[in-house]
Amino acid sequence: AQSVTQLDSHVSVSEGTPVLLRCNYSSSYSPSLFWYVQHPNKGLQLLLKYTSAATLVKGINGFEAEFKKSETSFHLTKPSAHMSDAAEYFCAGTQGGSEKLVFGKGTKLTVNP
């Protein structure tokens, strides 16, 4: 069965410094993996999606993620944090032909001035 684990419930960075949000997955099959962002009182916005076409996936707003099968990881990174990046981030996955998204518990990103 597919499961997704976000390793940090809260990450705090200074504006202009790199961001790393960690996600590990567990799946018997090649998964599709996603990162979504949720700003306060808003729905989920897709940042990027991995579907096995390329291991390094570029998303919106300067975010990217690298799929590492050997480490079963799909960490989200951004070279330089902006104040507007402060939000909750969710890693999610599907398995096989299922469209059911399995989400991690989320990582709250705080960006300090």
What's the DSSP call for residue 55? S
Kindly tell me which of 25 and 36 has the beta carbon lying closer to other proteins.
Answer: 36
User: Least distance to other proteins from the beta carbon of 100, Å?
Assistant: 5
In angstroms, the CA 17 to CA 109 distance is: 13
Kindly tell me which of 14 and 52 has the beta carbon lying closer to other proteins.
Answer: 52
Take residue 96 and report the two structure tokens written for it. 């096989």
Q: Is residue 51 classed as helix, strand or coil in its secondary structure? A: coil
User: Least distance to other proteins from the beta carbon of 46, Å?
Assistant: 6
Kindly tell me which of 46 and 83 has the beta carbon lying closer to other proteins.
Answer: 46
Radius of gyration of the chain (CA): 13
User: Least distance to other proteins from the beta carbon of 28, Å?
Assistant: 18
Kindly tell me which of 14 and 61 has the beta carbon lying closer to other proteins.
Answer: 61
In angstroms, the CA 84 to CA 79 distance is: 14
> What is the length of the chain?
113
Positions that interact with other proteins (CB under 8 A) = 32, 34, 36, 41-46, 49, 51-53, 90, 92, 98-106
